[in-house]
Amino acid sequence: MMKSKLSKKNSNRLRYKIWLSCIGIIVILVVITLIVFDLIDNKSLQAGDIPEEWKEYELTGKENKIRAALISLMGSPTGEFIYVYESGCDACEEMDSIIFPLAEQQNITVSRFNASQNKDLLPLLDLDNISLPATIYYSRGYKIGWIGSNEEDQYYKDFFDHFHHHYEKHPEGEPDYQEIENMKQEGDHIHPNSQ
């Protein structure tokens, strides 16, 4: 009888150990599965940050190439829009969904600059007091205007309309300081505010 109690007790212990081992293995598999799916999810988010149709506007490449592109865009006499954003930012994703469809509707090109991947180039953009994400309008090397996130859709439309219509009226771009001085000397009619 004693042997049967001991063997029954040992049998119960063995079942208990097997049961705990199975639960432990299941927990470990669940944790590993969650980690793998999280990693896959993060990779797909990074790969999917930019919808296919917007990739052509992304400033990519080595730092010198991006720097040259920024300088060219910012120095354009006709003005250019640059969208500055950070990877994985909820406000950036929200602004993406507003800015780019609106720009496409109005046939406006908005270049994309990823601040997270190009931190060394941020001083070039002169982002003092501008929180990201932001769409900034540059002309002749100057930051002319910008709009941040958390605005009503109409403000984004008005922002594009203002600068796009300005360009339509002045396709040659804004006159720079030297051009204004030359016009003054030649006696040409210039804008009253620039005298």
Residue 191 domain-assigned (yes or no): no
Range of the domain at 65: 55-172
Residue 190 domain-assigned (yes or no): no
The CATH number covering residue 134 comes to 3.40.30.10
Same domain, 132 and 86: yes
176: number of Cβ within 10 Å: 14
The DSSP code sequence of 87-107 is: TT-HHHHHHHHHHHHHHHHTT
Residue 194 domain-assigned (yes or no): no
Radius of gyration of the chain (CA): 30
Same domain, 68 and 21: no
Residue 50 domain-assigned (yes or no): no
Asked if 180 contacts 190 with a C-beta cutoff of 8 angstroms, the reply is: yes
Give me the number of domains the chain comprises: 2
Q: Is the pTM of this model over 0.85?
A: no
Structure tokens at 39: 């990693």
Asked if 93 contacts 133 with a C-beta cutoff of 8 angstroms, the reply is: no
Residue 131 domain-assigned (yes or no): yes
Same domain, 91 and 148: yes
Q: Cα-Cα-Cα-Cα dihedral of 148, 149, 154, 156, to 10°?
A: 50
Same domain, 116 and 167: yes
The DSSP code sequence of 143-181 is: EEEEEESS--HHHHHHHHHHHHHHHHH-TT----HHHHH
| 195 residues of the chain, pLDDT tens digit each | 555 665 666 677 777 778 777 787 888 877 777 676 655 444 333 434 556 666 678 888 888 899 999 999 998 888 899 999 998 888 888 888 888 888 888 888 999 999 999 899 989 888 888 889 999 999 888 888 899 988 888 888 888 888 876 666 655 555 554 555 555 565 544 333 333
Structure tokens at 171: 């396709």
